[in-house]
Chain A
Amino acid sequence: MLPYTCTLCGCLCDDLEIRADAGVVVEARGACELARPKLVGLSVEPAVAPPCRVNGREVVADEAVEAAAAILAGANAPVVLRLERATNEAARRAVALADRIGAAIEAGDAATAWPRVVAMQRYGAVGATLGEVKARADVVVFWGCDPATTHPRHFERYSLPDRDGRRAIVLDATETDTARRADVFLQVAPERELDLLLTLRALAREAPLDPHRVETATGHGLATLQELVETLQGARYGAWFTGSAAGRGAGSLVEARRQAVTALVRDLARNTRLVTIGLGEAGNPHGAEGVMAWQTGFAPGVDLGAGFPESWPGESSAAARLARGAFDAALVIGGPTSGAVPGGNPWIFIGDPGDEAFALATVALPAGTPGVDDAGTFTRVDGVSLPVRALRAATMPGATEWLERLRAAVGEEAP
């Protein structure tokens, strides 16, 4: 039997064995303590598919598709959002539809995805697939993140398998579960993260530093930080992991921290192999970003409203457009969503009929959930694409099929 891929955190563990009895999952072998309770008890019997809805009224699929297509085709400033749980196959169709209707489309969490991409556009990125870390790393850093809590199998699968002599270093605001497992723990106040990163970078570049000022700015002595830099530079293969916000500090400084991390790792990688990798977001935002990039040239958001792809940080975010009310129709793909799309504009929801959006959307199209009753491909944070398999037979179309039907119903532009 083929293994099951869990999509509940960014680890995307693809080695679970699901056992069902009497129509429900009774065991998820290999699952972590976060995933197991969410998997065990799931029904493996085909779900009852509710009808589509238009303005709260139950309608047949053709009518719902037609209503949705009319909204999208008539919109002047549509947005397409929340691709983070869509398969790569669905993301391909979503970008195609966005291109046709001239929408702004975005994948993942705008507040953290844009800063990551902007840092890459400035400095590049030095990374690896997680198997390289698993096989080669002798020094592993966790910066402002706690995979022991958020990504329970990260150590076992990727970063610290069997430990086998590798050194684990944690820099974080508090002594987390991850910190307790580390060889070295440096406490870093969230408001001092940026100063610390910049100090490490200065040390990596051998800039002369005033010890007193370093201690005031970072809370750590110069010798401690020097030793840390030397450990990293002395690594045969080092890996620097961080969460999506590149630390614990203010949301307004995500971009500054992300750039500091990226630049630091690049500087450190001059003379040794050192890579930085995110812990990974739940679902498939990394895959949707990749699809958007190959089809349009841009990630994590692109505005197709002018008839060609444009992407400007701070300008082209569909989520920001939504928040500002600068849209006249929205297409929300997948859940979970929190509440309705604001502003009284018509919106379409394609996703789990159990999601609250299903009852609130102008047009609701019930779609299977990847990993439950839909299958496809997800892409891990390190770019590795993996099959996601369903637990039960499909009784509803997946988002891929809905998007294809919508694209067909929207038709071609008048010549």
Chain B
Amino acid sequence: MSTLLIRGGHVVDPANDVDGVADVWIRDGQVVAAPADPDARADRVIDARGYVVMPGGVDVHSHVAGSKVNAARIMRPEERRGEDDVLRRARGFRSGTLGSVPSSFATGYHYAGLGYTTAVDAAIPPLAARGAHAEFADVPLVDKAMLVLMGNNHLILEAVRARDRAAVERTVAWLLESTRGFGVKAVNPGGVEQWKEGGSRLSGWDDRVDGFDVSPREIVTALAEAADALALPHPVHFHGLNLGVAGNWEQTLEGMRTLQGRRVHMAHVQFHSYGGSPDAPEDFGAMVGPLADFVNAHDGITVDVGQVMFGETTSMTADGPTGHYLAALTGRKWYNHDVEQEDGCGVSPIEYRDRNFVHAIQWAVGLEWFLRVDDPWRVALSTDHPNGASFRSYPDVIALLMDRNLRDETLGRLPEKARERTGLKDLTREYTLRDVAIVTRAGPARILGLDRKGHLAPGADGDVTIYAPDDDRRRMFALPRWVVKAGEVVVDDGTLAAAPVGRTLFAEVGVDADAGAALSARLGEKASFHPANFALGLDDVANPLGVRTGARP
């Protein structure tokens, strides 16, 4: 039994409507009620008077493990050779490298160093789960979870073609159980499969995937319904059609309409909110308004932003055709890896430049999303790490949200034509600390369905971040004074003090044994491996922690 008391801080805990001075007691890794005995002592007391206390940060959409992430590391040594791009070995801590895709230990250290204690990898192909879980074991400090790619999965597409809802549900459940995954991801549903077969680009909701005779609309609707029927903690996590393409806002709106009435999370929505048309790139512009209006008017839809920040980074996506397109556009090195029966990945370096018309608009589109969605619970902060920028730039994003002048300063150095194509200059809203706490922890936790994350009521995980108030918001959020993970003080007085491994969260779904065997046999028919080697046991997962789901098929 070990107790920690965080005394007298300004607690910002929006999930519990707390925004004022309070104590937080943690015992054995969990937040507990204050002891009835007024003389009760804690094993350790952090004097947080004058400090801001928030739940640990939760990243709903990031890329921290798996073959695409590791390929990006190998492909980009040039990012990890400077004095500022290495992490020296220290007593009890591993060395590492940074760049846009840090090595695994460095990833954990830096997330925790920003006060984040949970990170979700948003794109793991089922076949890559075994490797990604092994990598999770070397990402310390944060609790991890993976979203499993299913939008181009052959077994899913077959079930969708058969219009067999029960079969879709069974397949989703079986894929999650086999991979120890947390949620369902759909990336350019059907479009990746079509590209792999050399077919034409799928750009419309009713285009057909040649080999399966299904449409993006049918696939994503079926996955959304399955996630709801299984009562998964997190709804279908959707990477839409035509990522990055001028004029894609229309398909994004159509997607929202299609999924209306069901739960859906729209990933890195910034990349899906552009005006213009593919044939007239000069008409490229921001079209956040009508999309944000739709979100404001309809419950059930949440988004994360995928904010772009200026600088060098690495694009990586399970959307193979988009990776191909991007690499052809920049002419830079290109890693592509197709994974059997489901997606794959494309990786390429990219530099976002403030003098570039398109990049400038992308930057503004992200900020428009934060500022135009009225209810902060519906919009989560992300850079789609490392696509828009590294997660290490989150403090810069927060500073922009809290300070209109800072936004205007940056706007002022963007190309004039770009400024005119966004509505950012007219948005005067500035985020409060409560808004920040929502978009960085309370909201993402709720979107993920993690009822012990993102808040500080008794029963919550003992994940807490304590910031020194600072008019320089970037500095405030870049350098928390203390970070507590599962009750352990991991950042102590501004210094990384411990690096526990963290938990791996997975959805506890149940699958009928006969149904599982039938799916496994079907998988084996075309796979390059024995189907008995597909499913993972709990021994294959680092520090596993099941999250309960609802109904079982």
Contact = CB atoms under 8 A, between A and B. Distances in A.
Is the pairing of A and B real? Answer: yes
A296 B339 CA distance: 25
B134 interface: yes
A126 B533 contact: no
Nearest to A266: B334
Interface stretch (A55-63, A216-224, A304-312, A394-402): A304-312
Contacts of B198: 236-237, 272-273
Contact of A294 (B76, B81, B88, B104): B104
A10 to B, nearest CB: 13
Nearest to B64: A294
Given A92-B137, A269-B336, A273-B196, A100 B89 contact: yes
B65 A294 contact: yes
B355 interface: no
Q: Which of A5, A294, A311 has the most CB of B within 10 A?
A: A294
A298 B348 CA distance: 17
Q: Which of A130, A237, A289, A290 has the most CB of B within 10 A?
A: A290
Contact of B138 (A92, A125, A157, A297): A92
A189 interface: no
Interface in A373-394: 377, 379, 382-387
A92 B139 CA distance: 12
Given A121-B77, A134-B526, A383-B67, A309 B131 contact: no
B144 interface: no
B340 A131 contact: yes
Contacts of B94: 96, 99, 295
A307 B95 contact: yes
B74 interface: yes
Interface string B54-91: 00000000000101011101111110110000111101
A135 B70 CA distance: 25
B158 interface: no
Contacts of A89: 134
Interface in A281-305: 289-291, 293-299, 304
B96 interface: yes
B341 interface: yes
A129 B127 contact: yes
Contact of B130 (A5, A237, A309, A385): A385
B96 A157 contact: no
A295 B530 contact: no
B91 A413 contact: yes
B533 A127 contact: no
Contacts, number: 193
A379 B333 contact: no
Task: Bin chain A's interface residue count.
Answer: 35 or more
Given A100-B89, A273-B198, A386-B529, A295 B335 contact: no
A309 B96 contact: yes
Interface string A158-179: 1000000000000000000000
Contacts of A291: 134
Interface in A245-276: 266, 269-270, 272-273, 275
Interface in B89-123: 89, 91-92, 94-97, 99, 101-106
Given A14-B533, A308-B89, A127 B336 contact: yes
Given A96-B94, A386-B529, A132 B340 contact: yes
A382 B104 CA distance: 21
Contacts of A294: 65, 69-70, 73, 103-104, 135, 138
Given A120-B74, A384-B127, A298 B91 contact: no
Nearest to B102: A297
Task: Bin chain B's interface residue count.
Answer: 35 or more
B134 A123 contact: no
B197 A236 contact: yes
Secondary structure dominating the interface of B: mixed
Given A5-B533, A120-B75, A309-B97, A383 B81 contact: no
Nearest to A30: B530
A339 interface: no
Contact of A296 (B95, B101, B196, B338): B95
B386 interface: no
Interface in B21-70: 65, 67, 69-70
Contacts of B87: 308
A96 B96 CA distance: 11
Nearest to B128: A383
B95 A308 contact: yes
Contacts of A227: none
B16 interface: no
A269 B102 CA distance: 29
A386 B196 contact: no
Nearest to B523: A131
Interface string B9-25: 00000000000000000
Nearest to A290: B70
Nearest to A92: B138
A387 B102 CA distance: 27
A3 interface: yes
Nearest to B534: A386
B84 to A, nearest CB: 11
Q: Which of B74, B328, B333, B532 has the most CB of A within 10 A?
A: B74
Contact of A304 (B71, B75, B95, B128): B95
Contacts of A133: 528
Interface in B173-205: 195-198
B326 to A, nearest CB: 12
Given A132-B339, A236-B197, A383-B131, A296 B103 contact: yes
Contact of B74 (A121, A128, A415): A121
B134 to A, nearest CB: 6
Given A100-B89, A131-B341, A132-B340, A298 B80 contact: yes
B80 A297 contact: yes
A379 B88 contact: no
Nearest to A157: B528
A99 to B, nearest CB: 5
B353 interface: no
B337 A127 contact: yes
A74 B69 CA distance: 35
B327 interface: yes
Given A298-B77, A304-B89, 11 more contacts: A99-B95, A102-B89, A127-B336, A134-B526, A269-B336, A293-B70, A293-B74, A295-B94, A297-B96, A308-B87, A377-B130
The 10 closest A-B pairs by CB, nearest first: A131-B340, A131-B528, A297-B97, A128-B338, A124-B333, A308-B86, A124-B334, A130-B528, A297-B103, A385-B130
18 contacts: A100-B89, A120-B333, A124-B347, A125-B75, A128-B339, A131-B340, A131-B529, A134-B526, A236-B198, A237-B198, A294-B73, A295-B105, A296-B96, A296-B97, A298-B77, A309-B95, A383-B67, A384-B127
